[in-house]
Amino acid sequence: MNQLELKALAKINLGLDVLGKRENGYHDVRMIMQSIYLYDTIRIEKTGADEGISLCSNLSYLPSDGNNIAYKAAQLLKEEFGIREGVRITLDKHIPVAAGLAGGSSNAAAVLFGMNRMFRLGLSQKELMDRGVKLGADVPYCIMRGTVLAEGIGEELTPLPAMPKCTVLIAKPPVSVSTKTVYEALDAEEIPKHPDIDGIIKGLEEGDLRQIARSMGNVLEDVTIPMHPVIAQIKQEMLEAGAIGAMMSGSGPTVFGLFENRAAARTAQKNIREKSLARQVYVTNIHSVRRD
């Protein structure tokens, strides 16, 4: 196997709660993560012996060296296993960048998974996840995928019943959000209301999409929306078009809406684009993972 092509899936947070801050600066969280069928395509190729890592992408502004998390993932395995052959990584990116959708983490997860197969390293999913957390808190989840409860700093993962099928609308407004700034703002004030994570889990167990939508919440909205009111405008457009729930994903600025009716999602997509609230607006689906 000299070449491999993989899909690196985006994620949304059905619920995101922050429980406290550790002395090392990391935050204790309780989140429900869900992969969706919006993805980057990752191609991994072997090159000659004693060659290093090369990385390129369709986005000229992305780093192509050790500042790219996908590059770091390849470097980690090459160094640990003494892999002498070079590796060429090509990222064809469609997941919006710096958007709260774990695009970079998903790229790193795909490289770990792909190199494990390509070089027959024999690592289990758990062993890949143990290495992934060294790269970023979302990487272990991006290896596991599906519907998952994430605790600790995001690395303690518990699989949950699959999310009911529905249409997902993704809209990323043209603003930049600093995760560090968002968490600093959150630390500076009391959290007025925590999301109903247990309510989401109950909805998943019962296969009740409306129960899930009613229980969704993201504590980071309280600090991100005042900085970027367009997030609230996009949420409102989705709800007015028929979304049964709409929320910011991660630290933002991307907003997602859950729809029972695909035509309603298309209407919301059209309205959001026409009002210039976001250019990157995608209609997609939940991605489920079979767990034996």
- Cα gap 9→96, rounded to integer Å: 12
- Is residue 56 predicted with pLDDT exceeding 90? yes
pLDDT band at 189; cut points 50, 70, 90: confident
To the nearest 10 degrees (0 to 180), the angle between helices 103-118 and 125-132 is 130
pLDDT band at 88; cut points 50, 70, 90: very high
Determine the pLDDT at residue 275.
Answer: 97
Handedness of CA 254, 179, 225, 138 (dihedral sign): positive
Q: Are 108 and 70 in contact (CB under 8 A)?
A: yes
- Cα gap 27→87, rounded to integer Å: 35
Q: Which two tokens stand for residue 79?
A: 């160094």
Determine the pLDDT at residue 137.
Answer: 86
Q: 245-248 and 255-259: which strand pairing?
A: antiparallel
**Which whole number is the average pLDDT over 223-232?**
94
Q: Which two tokens stand for residue 89?
A: 């990584």
Reply yes or no: is the peptide bond before residue 173 cis, omega within 30 of 0.
Answer: no
Catalytic (active site) residue 138: yes
* Catalytic position from the list 46, 138, 172, 235: 138
pLDDT band at 3; cut points 50, 70, 90: very high
Determine the pLDDT at residue 292.
Answer: 64
- Is residue 290 predicted with pLDDT exceeding 90? no
The 8-class DSSP code of residue 162 comes to P
pLDDT per residue over 258-282, tens digit each? Answer: 999 999 999 999 999 999 999 999 9
**Which whole number is the average pLDDT over 117-137?**
95
pLDDT band at 233; cut points 50, 70, 90: very high
Catalytic (active site) residue 126: no
**Which whole number is the average pLDDT over 150-163?**
92
Model confidence, pTM: 0.93
Count, residues in the chain: 292
> What's the distance, CA 192 to chain centroid?
25
- Cα gap 139→152, rounded to integer Å: 14
pLDDT per residue over 145-154, tens digit each? Answer: 999 999 988 8
- Is residue 112 predicted with pLDDT exceeding 90? yes
* Catalytic position from the list 11, 46, 172, 235: 11
pLDDT band at 105; cut points 50, 70, 90: very high
